[in-house]
Amino acid sequence: MTALRVVVADDQALVRAGFRMILNADGIDVVAEAANGAEAIDAVRRHRPDVVLMDIRMPELDGLAATRQILTGAGAAPRVIMLTTFDLDQYVYEALTAGASGFLLKDVTPEQLVGAVRLVRDGDALLAPAITRRLVQRFAQPAAGPPAIHRDLAALTPRELEVLGLLAHGLSNAELAARLHLSEATVKTHVARILAKLDLRDRVQAVVVAYRTGLVTP
């Protein structure tokens, strides 16, 4: 497998340097740093990283706007992990709806940082921490109108709808397997089919859809 390539975008040089040191020590290649959103967009275009660590609050262009531009640009988009110092940042849900694969608090341990980068590179999402579940439940609002099953969910089987509903409550694959009395391999197959049928990038987007369509309510 090729080396994992990361761009670190944060307006604090010490944060960038610290993250670079941690990631490099674990064999992850930090290909560029950025001090604002505009620099982050440029770095992604030039270096085509696998993952971007993106601070939400930056000068000139914030991380939310930069994330939207990166994920709607041409070519294969990287996974984006938002960075914040606030455990209930008002912008985090907006970041998830913009396509970010999750978020981290800046005081994460080195092990958590490395694990998060590898997790999203492999196509998963940062939904395990309880803080993420609280954020989704706090900020997700169902679409206007009655909470009927959205037409986009019509392609899902009853089992897939059940899996999606449990995903929206933050359950991991292991927890889903235990709850549904299935193997983890079968759960992964269900999740993959849900993402494919709904044309979603990852589990975070699936959770957003579950709340916005009224399948699950906060």
In-domain check, residue 184: yes
- Taking the C-alpha atoms of residue 105 and residue 94, their distance in angstroms, rounded to an integer, is 16
Are 132 and 191 members of one domain?
no
In-domain check, residue 217: no
pLDDT of residue 182: 94
pLDDT of residue 208: 77
**Residues 186-201: tens digit of each pLDDT:** 998 999 999 899 988 7
Is residue 81 predicted with pLDDT exceeding 80? yes
Are 99 and 24 members of one domain?
yes
For residue 207, the domain's CATH number is 1.10.10.10
Contact partners, residue 87, CB within 8 Å, separation at least 6: 105, 131
Are 100 and 152 members of one domain?
no
Are 115 and 206 members of one domain?
no
Q: What's the average model confidence in pLDDT over 92-105?
A: 76
pLDDT of residue 128: 46
Q: Smallest Cα–Cα separation from 22: which of 32, 10, 30?
A: 30
pLDDT of residue 93: 67
Residues of the domain holding 74: 5-138
pLDDT of residue 149: 47
* Cα–Cα–Cα angle for 162, 168, 174, rounded to 5 degrees: 75
| Three-state secondary-structure class, residue 187 | helix
**From the CB of residue 142, how many other CB atoms can be counted at a distance below 10 Å?**
18
Q: Report which of residues 19 and 118 the model is more confident about.
A: 19
Q: What does residue 34 show for φ and ψ, rounded to 5 degrees?
A: -140, 140
Are 38 and 124 members of one domain?
yes
**From the CB of residue 74, how many other CB atoms can be counted at a distance below 10 Å?**
6
Which of 122, 138, 154 is a domain's end point? 138
Q: Report which of residues 144 and 205 the model is more confident about.
A: 205
Are 62 and 167 members of one domain?
no
In-domain check, residue 180: yes
**From the CB of residue 49, how many other CB atoms can be counted at a distance below 10 Å?**
23
In-domain check, residue 90: yes
Are 95 and 32 members of one domain?
yes
| Three-state secondary-structure class, residue 151 | helix
Are 108 and 123 members of one domain?
yes
pLDDT of residue 88: 54
Which of 84, 114, 138 is a domain's end point? 138
Are 169 and 152 members of one domain?
yes
- Beginning with the edge strand found earlier in the chain, give each strand of the sheet holding 103-105 in spatial order: 29-34, 5-9, 51-55, 79-84, 103-105
In-domain check, residue 218: no
Are 151 and 82 members of one domain?
no
How many structural domains is the chain composed of?
Answer: 2
Ordered DSSP codes for 27-74: T-EEEEEESSHHHHHHHHHHH--SEEEEESS-SSS-HHHHHHHHHTSS
pLDDT of residue 120: 82
Are 106 and 151 members of one domain?
no
